[in-house]
Amino acid sequence: MRKITYREALREGLDEELAHDGNVVIIGEEVAQYNGAYKVTEGLWKKWGDKRVVDAPISEAGFIGMGIGASMLGVRPVMELMFFSFAYVAFDQMMNNAATCRYMSGGLIHVPIVVRGPANGGTNVGATHSHCPENIFANMPGLKVVSPSNAYDAKGLIKSAIRDNDPVYFMENTMLYGASWDVPDNNELPDGELLIPLGSADIKREGNDVTFIAHNRSVIFALEAADKLEAEHGIHAEVVDLRSIRPLDEETFLASVRKTHRAVVIEENKPFCGVAAQIAATIQEKAFDELDAPVLRVSSIDAPAIYSPGVEPQQLPNARRIVEKTLTIC
């Protein structure tokens, strides 16, 4: 088993899908000759040419709208945003058009578009470049939202997202691009390629005392907190990686809560109307009698993203905050 970085895994997935389907194209700012703002598309323009890897002007409203229109005509565009914070510029197209077209056409028109890019803080780029809007897009029926925490999941999910016939908003994390994980070569896989179905959560660590439910980089913090809790307090936490926000794999995290009888939900988004709030409500509604303690949440502190490198890490979820919160119910 080889180790590759998160960005390399994404690049492999994109490359394989460009080869798999001639209708797949990559469009975004600096994705071609410059190899992508985060070097995710490095080498793809040179390999696939101007018709398959296309540089766009600095106008998210323009090129996202173009991609949505192209997807209605059979193209499968993968649109890169430098930051998912910039999606707000194309909000009407992404929410009002992409999400509703298949429903309003009675299933006659599909919108197989993927919009991908980083949705995270922690890089000291200020309040306008640090949003985690997965809860906003997941609120809209017709949209799918994916947020992988590691290279293995990133590759398998980006390939499935591109093949999906609905709009998929694929939210990555700049803090993970350079980190490495085990990802099998295709010749090591029984089906010859890595595909992870959308809407399938994954147990990243087994445990019996408390369930941690997280996605994206919060999974890394949850695993770190689980290590500390076991080493210092003898508490064994089970870590559930959602991977997909919508569709949401309720059965996996509910089964875990029924086993451990306690839950802490962790996310980088703000707490008000967040993904963690939805999950806590789901547990309350469907597994209340299994709980031995209230469902707790660890989110970013509810304020605009802090620019200061010394302070911003304290605003985000971290292992210390998760351990402190967990000890109140264990």
Three-class HEC string of 160-193: HHHHCCCCEEEEECCCCCCCEEEECCHHHCCCCC
Whether 321 and 238 map to the same domain: the answer is yes
Model pLDDT, residue 73: 96
Cα 60–61–62 angle (5° rounding)?
90
**110 lies in some domain:** yes
Q: How much of the chain, in percent, has pLDDT values that exceed 70?
A: 100
Q: What is the CATH number of the domain that holds 155?
A: 3.40.50.970
Determine the average pLDDT of the residues in 310-328.
96
Cβ-based neighbour number of residue 61 at 10 Å: 15
Same domain, 148 and 279: no
CATH label of the domain that carries residue 222: 3.40.50.920
Question: Is residue 147 a part of any domain in this protein?
Answer: yes
> Does any domain span residue 11?
yes
Both 231 and 157 in one domain: the answer is no
User: Is residue 195 one of the residues assigned to a domain?
Assistant: no
- Strands 168-172 and 210-214, by their bridges, are unpaired
Instruction: Collapse the DSSP code of 232 into the 3-class scheme (helix H, G, I; strand E, B; otherwise coil) and give the result.
Output: helix
pLDDT of residue 11: 98
pLDDT of residue 242: 98
Q: Active-site residues: which are they?
A: 60, 129
Indicate the residue among 132, 161, 188 that finishes a domain: 188
Are 223 and 304 members of one domain? yes
171 and 42 within one domain? yes
Residue 329 has pLDDT above 90, yes or no: yes
Note whether residue 196 is domain-resident.
no
- Average of per-residue pLDDT values in the chain: 97
Q: Which of 146, 161, 188 is the last residue of a domain?
A: 188
Within a domain: 193: no
For residues 177 and 224, membership in a common domain is answered with: no
Cβ neighbours around 234 below 10 Å, total:
9
* Mean pLDDT for the stretch of residues 159-168: 98
Whole-model pTM? 0.96
pLDDT for residue 1: 81
62 shares its domain with 161: yes
Q: What's the domain count of the chain?
A: 2
Number of H helices, E strands in the chain: 12, 14
CA distance 326 to 330: 6
pLDDT given for residue 135 in this prediction: 97
What mean pLDDT do residues 50-64 have? 96
> Does 162 score more than 90 pLDDT?
yes
Same domain, 46 and 164: yes
Average pLDDT estimate for 218-232: 98
Encode pLDDT of 250-299 as tens digits.
999 999 999 999 999 999 999 999 999 999 999 999 999 999 999 999 99
- 123 and 175 part of one domain: yes
Q: Are residues 277 and 171 in the same domain?
A: no
In a shared domain, residues 268 and 176: no
For residue 251, the enclosing domain spans 202-327
Q: Name every residue whose Cβ is closer than 8 Å to that of residue 264 and which is 6 or more positions away in sequence.
A: 210, 211, 212, 213, 295, 296, 297, 298, 322, 325, 326, 329
| Distance of alpha carbon 112 from alpha carbon 3, whole angstroms | 31
Specify if 14 maps to a domain.
yes
Q: Of 188, 219, 249, which closes a domain?
A: 188
What digits encode the pLDDT tens for the residues 91-127? Answer: 999 999 999 999 999 999 999 999 999 999 999 999 9
Question: Using one digit for the tens of pLDDT, what is the confidence trace for 117-127?
Answer: 999 999 999 99
Instruction: Determine the straight-line distance between the first and last CA of the chain, rounded to whole angstroms.
Output: 37
In a domain, 197, yes or no: no
Which pLDDT value is given to residue 92? 95
Asked if residue 305 lies in contact with residue 122, where contact means CB atoms within 8 angstroms, the answer is: no
Neighbours of 19 (CB within 10 A): 11
Does 215 lie in the same domain as 179?
Answer: no
Q: How confident is the model at residue 197 (pLDDT cuts 50, 70, 90)?
A: very high
The dihedral built from the CA positions of residue 60, 65, 66 and 70, taken in this order, carries a sign that is positive
Q: What is the mean pLDDT of residues 129-146?
A: 96
Alpha-carbon distances, residue 156 vs 9, 47, 241, 280 (angstroms): 9, 22, 14, 27
